[in-house]
Amino acid sequence: MTNDKKFLIFNVATKDRAGILVDSITEVFQVSLADILPVPDVPACVLGIYNWRGEMLWLIDLEYMLGYPPLTPSASSLSTLMAIVLQTPGKSLGLVVRQLIDIEWLDIEQMKAVNPELFSRQILTFLQGYFINDSNEIIMSLDDKAIIQASIWERRN
């Protein structure tokens, strides 16, 4: 049991699943695209800024950052857009996803090594490994540090 870690599992696009270690997450909240202030001259995956606890929080379209199609304007009608807040000293970032699935205990000893034949180069940049669940579905384990320290953020700092 000591190798089990809690992961927040969510949908990426319509069919894929990903997870982030719960220990890496500061907060999760519901967000509407209408509440996000667009910012010019930022990477395409950046949705804009959001007033979070009186602070300016950058929100990104995680699906688009991973190489999937972007959240469309029709997504603003979805009430289930969720923001997952990651923090490192001096930096906060919100990952916007369509839908959360659950919190699952996954045995990190069962995590499979990154396989370039299974995942696109864009996803590989942010991937720690992957799990195969009881339903034979792949759950990508995303690397929160790789996401928050990605080189695309250096342009805005």
| Token couple for 74 | 């029709």
Q: Is the pLDDT of residue 77 over 60?
A: no
CATH architecture of the domain covering 4-148: Beta Barrel (2.40)
pLDDT, tens only, 120-157 = 999 999 999 999 988 889 999 999 999 998 877 665 44
What is the average pLDDT value for the chain, to the nearest integer?
Answer: 88
CA–CA gap between residue 107 and residue 72 (Å, rounded): 35
CA–CA gap between residue 63 and residue 95 (Å, rounded): 9
- Mean pLDDT within 25-48: 92
Residue found by looking up tokens 């602070």 in the block? 55
What pLDDT, on the 0 to 100 scale, is given for residue 157?
A: 41
What pLDDT, on the 0 to 100 scale, is given for residue 156?
A: 46
Instruction: From 91, 92, 106, select the one nearest 20 (Cα to Cα).
Output: 106
DSSP-derived letter for residue 136 is S
Confidence band for 72, pLDDT divided at 50, 70 and 90: low
